[in-house]
Amino acid sequence: MRFSKEVAIITGAASGIGQAVAIQLASEGAYVVLVDLNSCEKTIQQLNGADYLECLGDIRDKEFVQATVARTIEKFGEVHILVNNAGTCSRLDLEDMTLDQWDRDMDTNLKATFLFSQACVYPHMKDAGYGRIVNISSISGINGGVVSGGEKNGRSGPAYSASKGGVIALTRWVAKEVGKYGITCNSVAPGAVLTGITAGVAYDTSAQVIDRMGEPNDIAEAVLYFANRKAGYATSQVLKVDGGYSIG
């Protein structure tokens, strides 16, 4: 039970990667705070009786973020792990990208990561002298967008790629800032994974070393490595979990 009685906040916990992370953490003893805009009932049904807190709202809203962390502290007394997972992905190209779409991706993927990191570190993780922050970025934040086909437009759009690149840069900045408090900050960069974001998108995985789409549990396993206490010497890292897509 690597996470016995540890408290973990997971954004985007209603489905996909966030759901898988929450279920795996709970299965290893963690108390999970499920954050999403949508009901987390399907996740809750798979927690097998583990203690949880559901917080529904807009993670781009600073007041909601602060209220979520305050509710976490009120119920559990502390917070050990933060997984910034929730995200949106527009697939418009540069010519067609609207300001509303740009702001949606940037605010959901990057601004919310900043808001939750700030609210968890100060004062809670700092005062405790311990914390694990894991940010979900993307291969698109490294290579400028994964090419795809299917019923949706080509590759992930410029706002998504820019926001995920920003998550990587923020991860490294925060890691340098919070290490002195016993806090690590790392990122997992998935490739093509079977989630709601990739529904209707076709990826050619034949050139990958592992010829298949990723599954949420593939990413959750990487998250749990960075989230556990024994990973205290790993920080500022970006772990690609992409089936070997980025090798060649």
- Using one digit for the tens of pLDDT, what is the confidence trace for 162-173? 999 999 999 999
Cβ neighbours of 151 (radius 10 Å): 8
Average pLDDT over residues 43-71: 98
- Using one digit for the tens of pLDDT, what is the confidence trace for 191-210? 989 888 887 787 888 888 99
Tell me, yes or no, whether 2 lies in a domain: no
pLDDT of residue 147: 67
Measure the CA–CA gap between 167 and 127, rounded to whole angstroms.
25
Residue scoring higher pLDDT (96 or 57): 57
Q: How confident is the model at residue 229 (pLDDT cuts 50, 70, 90)?
A: very high
Give one DSSP letter per residue of 65-90, joined into a string.
HHHHHHHHHHHHS---EEEE------
Name 133's bridge partners: 82, 185
Tell me, yes or no, whether 48 lies in a domain: yes
Tell me, yes or no, whether 179 lies in a domain: yes
Q: How confident is the model at residue 239 (pLDDT cuts 50, 70, 90)?
A: very high
* 160 tagged catalytic: yes
Give the range of the structural domain holding residue 110, as residue numbers without chain letter. Answer: 7-241
CATH code for position 122: 3.40.50.720
Q: How confident is the model at residue 150 (pLDDT cuts 50, 70, 90)?
A: low
CA distances from 67 to 30, 64, 81, 199, 207 (A): 21, 5, 17, 32, 45
* Host H or E run for residue 9: strand 7-11
pLDDT of residue 169: 98
Tell me, yes or no, whether 166 lies in a domain: yes
Please name the amino acid found at residue 203: Y
Q: How confident is the model at residue 149 (pLDDT cuts 50, 70, 90)?
A: low
**% of residues, the chain, pLDDT over 90:** 83
pLDDT of residue 204: 81
Kindly give the interhelix angle for 112-120 and 158-178, rounded to the nearest 10 degrees: 20
Tell me, yes or no, whether 17 lies in a domain: yes
Give one DSSP letter per residue of 91-147, joined into a string.
---TTT--HHHHHHHHIIIIIHHHHHHHHHIIIIIHHHT-EEEEEE--THHHHS---
pLDDT of residue 155: 74
Answering whether pTM is above 0.75, one says yes
116: pLDDT strictly greater than 80: yes
Q: In what order do the strands lie in the sheet with 7-11?
A: 52-56, 31-36, 7-11, 81-84, 131-136, 183-190, 238-241
Tell me, yes or no, whether 91 lies in a domain: yes
Backbone angles phi and psi of 216, in degrees to 5: -50, -35
Residue 195 near residue 16 (C-beta atoms within 8 A): yes
Number of domains in the chain: 1
* Mean pLDDT score across all residues of the chain: 94
- Using one digit for the tens of pLDDT, what is the confidence trace for 32-46? 999 999 999 999 999
97 Cβ partners below 8 Å, 6+ apart?
90, 157, 158, 159
The candidate with the shortest Cα–Cα distance to 174, out of 215, 104, 117, 92, is 117
Tell me, yes or no, whether 45 lies in a domain: yes
157: pLDDT strictly greater than 90: no
- Tell me which of 31, 52, 130, 160 is the catalytic residue: 160
Tell me, yes or no, whether 1 lies in a domain: no
